[in-house]
Amino acid sequence: MEMIKGIQGHGYYDELVVPIIENTAYERELTDALAEAIEAYPKTTAVLVRNHGIYIWGDSWIHAKTQAECYHYLFDAAIKLYQLGLDWSTPDHGPIKKYGGKTNMSVKAGTVNSNHETEPSRRCIVLDIEGTTTPISFVTDVLFPFARNNVSRHLAATYETDETQDDIKLLRTQVQNDLEQGIVGAVPIPPDDAGKEEVIAALVANVEAMIKADRKITALKQLQGHIWRTGFQNNELEGVVFEDVPEALQKWHASGIKVYIYSSGSRLAQRLLFGYTNHGDLRKYLCGFFDTTVGNKRETKSYVEITESVGVDKPSEILFVTDVYQEAVAAKAAGLEVIISIRPGNGPLPDNHGFKTITSFSDI
């Protein structure tokens, strides 16, 4: 169905209508029927003459030749589908229609589900984590407490490393902004010459306040990722995903669909969670990870950035799955297809939210 894009005036999701007219004894006698078909279907660039052939035109000979190849491919696919007993027409258009004694053949790009409904073709799936691939309780009851309880130990053990100094630099900048904005829980961080212990104590107080407020900020998420890495590597932590997730990831990967993760947690934290799960290492099924460095998950521009990064022709070729209504709205505004995940422990959705919902990845 990719060949539809080769037809003048048509895109991947457009309907392609080819009028079929009856043959005549002489080719010159086809003129009136051809003109009538073109008038009835101004977008068409071809008319099929029964038991004879197809008339194709374009802006140039090369353009007409390109379209001819596309039509040939599409008709050949339709015939093979018919021979296999498969419906080659678009199911939601009903049976072959008759207009003024002329038969019209419709082909539409997309896939057909078990209910014979046309669905858009997907090249990429972008998944949220919390409440989508992973229970919210794992994040709130396991990951967050582990980070909170180990901030002081981690900072003390790694204080002189370049990685931790970078974490501290980010936290200093964030805390300074918080103080200027009057954010509750923000406390000044003393300069380095005040002593390691005093600096760490202030950092711990700020981090604990950020975790308590569930702040979706890079400075916090980066430090949490480093703390969690130690926990996963020391077998103190094990990632948890819903039972239907591994099979779905494997299926999508096998079918050539690229799967990405977009979470407020750092990319490191995402890799750790999927690398050390209760179902083994699932990173082999994933093509990449996005975090808040591409933008806030409730802002449309973040999804525009992701669309440009994954290399699709249209945003609608991306399916985004999340449990958060505001994220769904932002992604839809960017042109993505959106499904909301309903899992145990997820928050309520607004009435008449207008999004398709699933309770398992097997529903996709």
Mean of pLDDT values over 242-265: 94
CB atoms within 10 A of CB 10: 20
Tell me which amino acid residue 63 is. H
Q: Residue 129: name the closest of 231, 253, 282 by CA.
A: 282
Which residue do the tokens 């974490």 mark?
Answer: 167
Measured distance CA(360)–CA(89) in Å, rounded: 30
> In the prediction, which pLDDT does 91 show?
45
Say whether 180 is catalytic: no
pLDDT class of 98 with cuts at 50, 70, 90: very low
* Side-chain-side CA neighbours of residue 353 (13 Å): 19
> In the prediction, which pLDDT does 281 show?
95
Tell me which amino acid residue 18 is. V
Measured distance CA(221)–CA(266) in Å, rounded: 5
> In the prediction, which pLDDT does 109 show?
42
> In the prediction, which pLDDT does 319 show?
97
Query: What pTM, to 2 d.p., does this model score?
Result: 0.61
Percent of the chain with pLDDT over 90: 58
Any known ligand binding at 264? yes
Contact 273, 134 (CB under 8 A): yes
Any known ligand binding at 309? no
Asked if residue 135 has pLDDT above 60, the reply is yes
Least confident of 47-56, 201-210, 255-264, 337-346: 47-56
Tell me which amino acid residue 68 is. A
Any known ligand binding at 22? no
Any known ligand binding at 297? yes
Which residue do the tokens 């999701």 mark?
Answer: 13
Which residue do the tokens 């015939």 mark?
Answer: 79
* Side-chain-side CA neighbours of residue 93 (13 Å): 17
> In the prediction, which pLDDT does 80 show?
80
For 263-275, write each residue's pLDDT tens digit.
Answer: 988 898 999 999 9
Pairing of strands 111-112, 118-119: antiparallel
Measured distance CA(223)–CA(226) in Å, rounded: 5
Phi first, then psi: give them for residue 234, nearest 5 degrees: -95, 10
For 305, counting Cβ atoms within 10 Å of its Cβ (0-12 exposed, 13-18 middle, 19+ buried), the class is: middle
Residue 289: partners with Cβ closer than 8 Å, 6 or more residues away: 260, 261, 262, 263, 267, 270, 271
Mean of pLDDT values over 80-109: 52
Asked if residue 216 has pLDDT above 90, the reply is no
Phi first, then psi: give them for residue 261, nearest 5 degrees: -115, 135
Asked if residue 21 has pLDDT above 80, the reply is yes
Q: Which one of the listed residues 2, 27, 197, 308 is annotated catalytic?
A: 2
DSSP H helices, 185-266, are: 196-212, 218-233, 245-254
Any known ligand binding at 65? no
> In the prediction, which pLDDT does 244 show?
97
Contact 16, 10 (CB under 8 A): yes
Question: 3-state SS of the chain: helix, strand, coil percent to 5?
Answer: 50, 15, 35
Mean of pLDDT values over 248-263: 94
Mean of pLDDT values over 296-312: 92
